[in-house]
Amino acid sequence: MANRAFSIARLPGFSTLAVMVFVMLYLPIGLLVLFSFNAGPSPAIWEGFSLQWYPRAWANEQVKDATLRSLTIASFAAVISTSVAVLAALGTTRRKRSAGQTFVYLMINQPLMVPEIVTAVALLILFGFIKVATGYQGLGYLIIAHSAFCIPFAYLPIRARLEGMDLALETAAADLYATPWQTFRYVTLPLLMPAVIAGLMLAFITSLDDVVISLFVKSAGQDTLPTYMLGQIRRNMTVEVNAISTLLICLTIIMLTAFFLLTRRNE
């Protein structure tokens, strides 16, 4: 009798454990979505179905300001971090292996390995010196901080795509006297574009959802949507926060679904 290949799914209790994990992960999210349609003001006592909290959240000027600020920061951060990620991916894949390349890879992905609170405190100290020296208090600090934090999220899918790309077309372009810029613009970039878009979306959603770095770096009156929601929960939890959270969940699902489809297309 031939030995069957090992599969963790055949281990005793695996299915039960998997179901328990999914229930613990998604039951709270499901309850949050459900209570965003609660007719009453309680975030925990069901009083009937109603859509009233969605228009009320939309009519809230603070929510509008925080949402616009979050979208602005996330858009700039996504573009900047993805541009840097493309250059970093090209620099770490389109060259011969050399001493220190693993260290470079490690440093690019450092924000993923260091606790976010450490990055936030370090940025707070750095930007504190800059604020004292320049007097500037604008959104630039949040954009720079989010851009730096989002680079590895954009870098990983772009690097994976570059490593899976055949060099034959780029070599052929060079043989036909194309300059390095022409080869990149007309050959490499079009082939790389699905991964670039996927990295852009990952960076955007990571920036949009960030709380810790935003909380430490922002100045007075610069609440993003997540930090505004955190402040509302601390003061008085309302169903309006549930409605905003549900909309953020929907946006995240849409972005991650698009990322999955683009990644599958790459494969």
pLDDT in tens, 93-130: 877 766 667 777 778 888 888 888 998 999 999 998 89
Judge whether 95 lies within some domain. yes
Judge whether 250 lies within some domain. no
pTM to 2 decimal places: 0.80
Judge whether 20 lies within some domain. no
* Domain ranges, residue 219: 62-235
Judge whether 175 lies within some domain. yes
Closest by CA to 244, choosing from 255, 252, 256, is: 252
The number of domains in the chain is 1
| Mean pLDDT across 57-64 | 83
Closest by CA to 198, choosing from 267, 245, 104, is: 267
Judge whether 56 lies within some domain. no
The model's confidence at residue 85, banded by pLDDT at 50, 70 and 90, is: very high
Least confident of 3-7, 125-129, 189-193: 3-7
Q: Residue 179 belongs to a domain with what CATH number? A: 1.10.3720.10
Burial class for 99, CB neighbours closer than 10 Å (0-12, 13-18, 19+): exposed
Judge whether 256 lies within some domain. no
Helix (H, G, I), strand (E, B) or coil at 242: helix
Judge whether 41 lies within some domain. no
